Structure 1
Amino acid sequence: MAAASPWIRWFADTSIADVPLVGGKNASLGEMYRELAGAGVRVPNGFATTADAFRHFLRETQLDREIRRILSNLNADDVASLQQCGRAVRQAILSTDLPNDMQQAITAAYQQLCREAQTEADVAVRSSATAEDLPDASFAGQQETYLNVQGARPLVDTCRRCFASLFTDRAISYRHHRGFDDFQIALSVGVQRMVRSDLGSSGVMFSLDTETGFRDAVLINAAFGLGENVVQGAVNPDEFLVFKPTLQQGYRPILERRLGSKEWKLIYDIGGGRMTRNVPVPPEDRARFALTDDEVLTLARWACIIENHYAQKRGVDSPMDIEWARDGRTGDLWIVQARPETVQSRRELHIQEQFRLAEPGEIVVRGRSVGERIGQGTVHVIPSAHQLADFRAGEVLVTDKTDPDWEPAMKKAAAIVTNRGGRTCHAAIVSRELGLPAVVGAENATERLRDGQPVTVSCAEGDEGR
């Protein structure tokens, strides 16, 4: 490894105890890289910038004073105020160079990864807040991720963009509504060798059933290409459900396979001006599953290993939310993130809620149900985040897909309906966290539903939401 620096921590030297130093995401990567390789779980190598590096950046450039000045005018409940203050803070950070000692430390660590790869390494660059992915506060998705970053100079610039993403509108709103002080949280940047899932497949899995909280199942979503499409709900992914007890006895208990439409895949933008781009998936690939049964079972076993490891570390049951990738060149499976599941694992098991429709009505759209509740309101179709300021409390939010920029509006919705996405996408995870009924992957909701239309959104009738 490169010479030790106070601004850099390699995964091999990092454990879950290092959340204050490198954030939840990077501490978890280090923990798995160090502890689970012997159990066969693969995690790509990498390093993290430290929380001290972030504070050093703000202090040396006097950005800390400027940010305090800007945020002193913030009204976190006002979308316009959020947008104005967030934009001003991000612009201040993006227009300021990192201190030379930080640039040199990041460059030296990246060059070490290049030597390991025996080429100019392509890396994933992920933000990891020091309060992120804690069992009692899900900061997942609040900051940015960048894929296929190549070269030392682009990496340094991307690290600065990650630092700025601590002050996205959604991150500021989330912290203020959860009672976190902006300056008690720092940001670490994780730099990890890429898995060429742009040539293979990727997705998300949970070590429980996301809707019922059933602990003896592993739910896996999969699509072709890089994993951001599944996380963001840009595609309707394949879905697999595996039964843990008989899996651990050596059987092959895939209880359910559901073929998704998988219209798009995210790939490297080779020769283009961006790092990645979306391309259509050929019809013959859309008609097949993105994983073989053997790969599904391997991932499910890894989910059990990861869950058991964290349960031993924490001393309590620890259902996990895990991102995986399959390298299209080698066929190898990899784990690229793991965090505690934050909804079903906190559910009061002795309380049972049941919802029923008083009478059936005309079904306008169908999709995958999220939660078991029923919501009512008038439809508001929002084509893009630019129209979010027009959304009113108590309306039903209807859109193509959501990302973390939508969270301030989602908190005001009576229910959520999206054209795209599966049960592990952003819209589903946030809806569960907020206790909202949501129907994801409805395909044509923005065409079938119109502004002002009164509707009932029901997730109380099983897997299908209506």
Structure 2
Amino acid sequence: MNSERVVWLHGDADPQQVGVKNARLAELTDEGIRIPEGFAVTAAAYQEFVREGRLGPVIARELRRYRAGRDLVVVAAAIRTAFRDTSLPQAVSDEILAAYEDLGGDGTEVAVRSSPAETQDDVADETFLHLRSGADVLAACRRCFASLFSAVAVGNREHRGPDHLVAAMPVTVQRMVRADLGSSGTVRGESTFVRVRAAWGLGEPVSGDADQYSVHPGARPMIVKHRGAKRAKTVYAGLRGTEVVQTTPEERSGLVLTDDDIEELARWSVIADKHFKRPMELEWAKDGRSGGLYLVEVRARVLPVVTIDGPGRAVPVLQYTRER
């Protein structure tokens, strides 16, 4: 059940409360697209934490020191330490723990991530993986709240705003998708085709190394497959880390996705483009335990720009920029 402090990720959601990435994912659940089950700890919960923990005066004091000449890195670190050392308000922690209990409670593996209320390149993404207890989830939420005060983010807000006490940091808590035991990749629509890239393990596939599929969606989809080298894959290593390991001969010689997987991802791409009324790029993950496909991020794409280079010569600029 949703509240001011916790919002489940399905249906319409306010991006200012749950974060831009979360809001987009939640919208697409109504279109039948699967995302990892989970919830957002809202911007309102963050603000309650700052208010009840009396962190506003700490932020103001450290900023005065910065404006008086103290090193920005030292100031930002002092603010983050205060965040990590401050307990969450009882009402906030109770609602987070209740939501985690609905996911399965202690023993249920979840990922906890920072989810900025606006698209911000200067906020360091904090991510905690394989958390298996309510206490660990609460600690990770505090650290994600603190990530709003990286040195770069503090410096940029000093320069261009918004005010430090107006900014907020929602947090995402979702079931772990074991893509390290399965696969991950991207999908996007291009003209009448959908392009899918896929590789074993975690993360966005390395260009030229991944399997690539071209799909013409429809009642009878046409699929063209190109097998990549897939020499290595990224797997989980510890609570926050990952490591790169060599793939097996079987993984290198085989294709990552089945035809059913490819068709489903192509369908998701068409749905997302239509829903958001613009070209989108999707990141997906396939759980190696359940075999299920999940959408983990959706972002707007910028189409190639056509420029004029001399009389009558239209030159396409094929560089795609991506939104964080």
TM-score (norm 1): 0.59
Provide closer, same or farther for how the CA distance between residues 20 and 330 of structure 1 changes in structure 2, counting only shifts above 3 A.
Answer: same
Secondary structure at the aligned position of 2:88 is classed as: coil
Offset of residue 158 of structure 1? 0.7
Residue 31 in 1 paired to residue 27 in 2? yes
User: Match for 2:114: what amino acid?
Assistant: S
Aligned to 1:10: 8
Provide closer, same or farther for how the CA distance between residues 353 and 179 of structure 1 changes in structure 2, counting only shifts above 3 A.
Answer: farther
User: Match for 2:187: what amino acid?
Assistant: M
Aligned to 2:281: 321
Given the alignment, which residue of 44, 50, 53 partners 2:45? 53
Secondary structure at the aligned position of 1:93 is classed as: helix
Given the alignment, which residue of 295, 310, 314 partners 2:276? 310
Q: What CA deviation, in whole Å up to 9, does each residue of 1:24-77 have, x standing for no partner? A: 1221222122x122xxx21222111111100011111111221233234558xx
CA contact (8 A) 1:205 1:221 kept: yes
Residue 242 in 1 paired to residue 224 in 2? no
Given the alignment, which residue of 124, 128, 132 partners 2:111? 124
Aligned to 1:447: none
CA contact (8 A) 1:163 1:187 kept: yes
CA contact (8 A) 1:222 1:239 kept: yes
Given the alignment, which residue of 187, 194, 201 partners 2:183? 201
CA contact (8 A) 2:197 2:213 kept: no
Q: Once structures 1 and 2 are overlaid, which stretch shifts more, 24-33 or 46-55?
A: 24-33
C-alpha separation in 2, matches of 1:334 and 1:260: 24
Residue 94 in 1 paired to residue 84 in 2? yes
Given the alignment, which residue of 278, 287, 295 partners 2:243? 278
Provide closer, same or farther for how the CA distance between residues 20 and 279 of structure 1 changes in structure 2, counting only shifts above 3 A.
Answer: closer
CA contact (8 A) 1:148 1:194 kept: yes
Aligned to 1:390: none
Q: What CA deviation, in whole Å up to 9, does each residue of 1:416-440 have, x standing for no partner? A: xxxxxxx9xxxx858xx9xxxxxxx
Given the alignment, which residue of 316, 339, 347 partners 2:299? 339
CA contact (8 A) 1:221 1:237 kept: no
User: Match for 2:202: what amino acid?
Assistant: L
Secondary structure at the aligned position of 1:182 is classed as: coil
C-alpha separation in 2, matches of 1:300 and 1:175: 39
Aligned to 1:105: 95
User: Match for 1:267: what amino acid?
Assistant: Y
Aligned to 1:226: 202
Aligned to 1:152: 134
Secondary structure at the aligned position of 1:187 is classed as: coil
Aligned to 1:464: none
Aligned-CA RMSD value: 3.3
Given the alignment, which residue of 276, 287, 298 partners 2:264? 298
Provide closer, same or farther for how the CA distance between residues 252 and 107 of structure 1 changes in structure 2, counting only shifts above 3 A.
Answer: same
Aligned to 1:441: none
Aligned to 1:408: none
Given the alignment, which residue of 228, 231, 239 partners 1:259? 228
CA contact (8 A) 1:236 1:262 kept: no
Offset of residue 205 of structure 1? 3.0
C-alpha separation in 1, matches of 2:94 and 2:42: 14
User: Match for 1:337: what amino acid?
Assistant: E
Secondary structure at the aligned position of 1:331 is classed as: coil
Provide closer, same or farther for how the CA distance between residues 282 and 54 of structure 1 changes in structure 2, counting only shifts above 3 A.
Answer: same
CA contact (8 A) 2:84 2:142 kept: yes
Provide closer, same or farther for how the CA distance between residues 161 and 252 of structure 1 changes in structure 2, counting only shifts above 3 A.
Answer: same
C-alpha separation in 2, matches of 1:129 and 1:200: 28
C-alpha separation in 1, matches of 2:196 and 2:110: 25
CA contact (8 A) 2:111 2:129 kept: yes
Secondary structure at the aligned position of 1:250 is classed as: coil
Offset of residue 11 of structure 1? 1.8
C-alpha separation in 2, matches of 1:372 and 1:26: 29
Q: What CA deviation, in whole Å up to 9, does each residue of 1:274-298 have, x standing for no partner? A: 3554251334124444333442332
C-alpha separation in 1, matches of 2:214 and 2:157: 35
Provide closer, same or farther for how the CA distance between residues 296 and 158 of structure 1 changes in structure 2, counting only shifts above 3 A.
Answer: same
C-alpha separation in 2, matches of 1:74 and 1:287: 56
C-alpha separation in 1, matches of 2:284 and 2:160: 29
Q: What CA deviation, in whole Å up to 9, does each residue of 1:117-165 have, x standing for no partner? A: xx73211212111113xxxxx5497422222221100000111111111
C-alpha separation in 1, matches of 2:23 and 2:322: 22
**Percent same amino acid among aligned pairs?**
34
In the TM superposition, what are the counterparts of 1:311-390 in structure 2 within 5 Å? 311=277, 318-341=278-301, 344-345=302-303, 349=305, 351-352=307-308
C-alpha separation in 2, matches of 1:265 and 1:141: 24
Secondary structure at the aligned position of 1:103 is classed as: helix
Provide closer, same or farther for how the CA distance between residues 302 and 157 of structure 1 changes in structure 2, counting only shifts above 3 A.
Answer: same
CA contact (8 A) 1:207 1:320 kept: yes
C-alpha separation in 2, matches of 1:260 and 1:236: 8
Is there any run of 5+ residues in structure 1 with no aligned partner, and where? 133-137, 209-214, 312-317, 355-370, 374-422, 434-466
Secondary structure at the aligned position of 2:111 is classed as: strand
C-alpha separation in 1, matches of 2:122 and 2:211: 21
Q: What CA deviation, in whole Å up to 9, does each residue of 1:63-118 have, x standing for no partner? A: 1221233234558xx9x944333322222211222122211111111001107xxx
C-alpha separation in 2, matches of 1:87 and 1:21: 25
Number of paired residues? 316
CA contact (8 A) 1:148 1:268 kept: no
Provide closer, same or farther for how the CA distance between residues 141 and 265 of structure 1 changes in structure 2, counting only shifts above 3 A.
Answer: farther
